[in-house]
Chain A
Amino acid sequence: MDSQITIKIKNISKSFGGLKALENVSFSVKTGQIHALIGPNGAGKTTLMNIISGLETADSGEIIFNDKPINKLPPEKRTKIGIARTFQNLELFGEMTVLENVMVGMYLKYETGFIKSGLMLNSVRKVQKDIITKSLNILDYVGLNHRKNEYAKNLPVGEQRLLEIARAMAADPILMLLDEPAAGLNIRETKNLSILIKNLKEEKQITLLIVEHDMELIMGISDTITVLNFGKVIAEGDPLSIQKNPDVITAYLGEED
């Protein structure tokens, strides 16, 4: 049964000073699904993403990835075991080209020592060619190939968001965390994004956990939705049941007078 769950969030709590950002948050992401995490602003979603990817530590609780607890793992080790992510506030390598940004995502699979790199042995050269080829394939897949030599900082927001996804793909992840991938996107771009995310699930067999505010996008592609409010899980289910859930409606629209 558990082997069908990619990642399990167990009783995660986190406070900043007196503020409770997350309180006993628990849910599981089933393998091969698109799982959405929604909730009003300040609900703690990005904090949770940071905790899952290892950039912040929870005060209590566990994260279990493929049946193994990963609380003690630093961020780079979590990527090694198959967790990749994008960022709400774009964290691209601005001074590097689009192609180079994706190549960096492949570093961990092709890490070469300083000495070998400095000597530029044939093996290193070959590996570099491999990396470039694979990176170009990924850029092709997300539709950024025509931009491969542009500096990342010069891209429009829509393409920058795609680039973050491409970079995450380069790490060949099992689980991809997308933190507001549609922020700043227009309708056409959002539509293409939803197609891309669906393809990641169906063609690439990647499990996805998405934080988003764009309801149409979420309702259109998610298999399961977890709703957070004030750091607590208030509802979980498929899109239809979430839309009808009175607690969810209250959280977003406020109490009826």
Chain B
Amino acid sequence: MGKGNILSLLILTLVIIIFPIVIKDTYLHTIGIFAGINALVAIGLTILMGYAGQISLGQAAFYGIGAYISAILSLHFGLPVILSIFLALLVSSTAAIILAIPALRLKGHYLAVATLGFGEIIHIILHEWGPGGPSGFGDIPKMNLFGYTFTSTNDYFYLVWMCVVVIMIFSLNLINSMTGKALQAMHGSEIATQTAGINLTKLKIKVFILSSIYASLAGAMYAHYVTFLSPSSFSLFHSVLFLMMVVIGGISNIWGGIVGALIITILPEVLRGFKEFDILLYGLILTLFLLFMRKGLVPMTIDTYKRWIHR
């Protein structure tokens, strides 16, 4: 892991520690918490899209599975929250494998639509068979770690963002390892990667599972923070939002996941007074980014910085 990444991690950790101390407004804490939760999903999706070169229009499905399974296990079966989350990750991974094996044989458009279809089916299942159906359900136990129950926004802010830091360390290690190089190679030339002795299908499935675990972890944390779930939070629109986070942040750099998540989470707050505009603005921003800034904010910033110091 290079110096840039280590420095960025230290800065991030510093900012995380200071934020709730300097900013007392719990509403802002809440935005920060959601940004962190979204960042987890976005980081996983960035690895899937930017490094493994795959696409998923169904991340909201894994997000939803993580949320619902963890909620149901802890609420209806009385399991400890930590165990519920772990089992939710297991279920999500299984769903990812079941989807990945047939889906990853598909290329491009077909894969995109297959993941979209999968996402919609999960949405329908949650809608028809989830507790409370379309209205959802509440009273989900709060996050509980080794006996300590998380209650304040401070608690959750630190919890979520510490998870982000840990996940970032893990992901950066992964990218800098031989596995990361294999992923980049696959992106560069699939046939050369195969003849270098690498099983592409296994690799793609593993990355798919990885991204599903990140998403379901985020979902579980969402469930135990908000303590109320309804299927409307896990629709195609949310899958598209996650996609937007990756595009805006930068598909080729996992720090982009954090940046994109921050922007997309804060955007609706900025648009408070313009409810009728929101979808329009999402569409406009996404289109403009794809047309003119498709590298994404983080890679573009890095490029600008490199050009500046090499003047």
Residues of A participating in the B interface, judged by any CB pair closer than 8 Å? 53-55, 74-76, 78-80, 84-85, 87, 91-96, 100-101, 103-108, 110-112, 114, 117-120, 124, 127-128, 131, 167, 170-171
Contact B195 A85 (CB under 8 A): yes
Q: Are A111 and B196 in contact (CB under 8 A)?
A: no
User: What B residues does A80 contact at CB under 8 A?
Assistant: 197
Q: Is the beta-carbon distance between A119 and B178 smaller than 8 angstroms? A: no
Is A91 in contact with B197, judged by CB distance below 8 angstroms?
no
Q: 16 A-B pairs, CB-CB below 8 angstroms?
A: A54-B194, A75-B195, A76-B194, A96-B185, A104-B178, A104-B198, A105-B196, A106-B178, A112-B177, A112-B179, A117-B173, A118-B173, A119-B170, A127-B178, A131-B178, A171-B196
Contact of B171 among A55, A85, A118, A127 (CB under 8 A): A118
Contact of A93 among B170, B185, B200 (CB under 8 A): B185
- A91 touching B189 in the complex, CB below 8 Å, given contacts A76-B194, A105-B196, A107-B198: yes
Interface SS, B side = helix
For B66-95 the 0/1 string (1 means CB < 8 A from A) is 000000000000000000000000000000
Contacts A112-B177, A117-B173; A92 near B196 (Cβ below 8 A): no
Interface SS, A side: helix
How far apart are B101's CB and chain A's nearest CB, in angstroms?
15
Q: In the complex, are the beta carbons of B195 and A108 less than 8 A apart?
A: no
Tier of interface size on chain B: 20 to 34
Q: How far is the CA of A119 from the CA of B174 in the complex (A)?
A: 8
- A-contact 0/1 string along B166-201, CB 8 Å cutoff: 000011011011111110110111011111111110
**Is B210 in contact with chain A by the CB < 8 A criterion?**
yes
CB distance from B231 to the nearest CB of A (A): 31
Task: Tell yes or no: B206 within 8 A of A by CB.
Answer: yes
Q: How far is A224 from B179 in the complex, measured between Cα atoms in Å?
A: 40
A17 to B86, CA, bound (A): 53
Q: Which residue of the partner chain B has the closest CB to A124?
A: B177
Measured CB to CB, the closest approach of chain A to B181, in angstroms, equals 5
Minimal Cβ-Cβ distance residue in A for B1: A120
8 A Cβ contacts from B32-52 to A: none
Measured between beta carbons, the chain A residues less than 8 angstroms from B196 are: 76, 79, 84, 104-105, 107-108, 167, 170-171
